[in-house]
Amino acid sequence: MKNVNEAIKKALEGKTPHTNEWNVVNQLLDLVEADREAKRIVSEDLENEDLSIDKLVKTVLRGRPGPVEVMKKICDFYGLTCPDELPPEVWRGTAVSAPKQQDDMNLFDLL
């Protein structure tokens, strides 16, 4: 298995930071860094010219999708299981936690 992280980072080199193309490639990088199975699948798929990062970007950006749709399209493109939560905020631990439900009980409230 070739180093997929380096291949993705190399693809980022030609992209202008914070453009749509750059964001798609960064989401792919977040996916493979968080999931070993995704890393294996993408690594194998990148050996196929039809599944190149450039073709991924062109496919994903058709129709001006939002961030969640971009993640779904990346997963569909490579046949990955789509995560329930959108990276990178959740995976890097910087996401705001969900509001508590009325039935939720915090044991520290009892102290």
Per-run averaged pLDDT (10 residues), the chain, 111 residues: 83 90 91 89 93 94 87 93 69 51 63 66
pLDDT at residue 101, as a whole number: 54
Structural contact between residues 80 and 31, judged by C-beta atoms closer than 8 angstroms: yes
Extents of the domains making up the chain: 4-94
pLDDT at residue 66, as a whole number: 84
Structural contact between residues 65 and 79, judged by C-beta atoms closer than 8 angstroms: no
Number of other CB atoms surrounding residue 74 within 10 Å:
23
Q: Smallest Cα–Cα separation from 68: which of 23, 14, 22, 5?
A: 23
Residue by residue, DSSP assigns 1-17 as ---HHHHHHHHHHTSPT
pLDDT at residue 74, as a whole number: 94
Distance of alpha carbon 51 from alpha carbon 54, whole angstroms: 8
Q: Smallest Cα–Cα separation from 2: which of 45, 31, 59, 63?
A: 45
Please report where in the chains the tokens 């890393």 appear, as a residue: 39
Instruction: Read off the pTM.
Output: 0.74
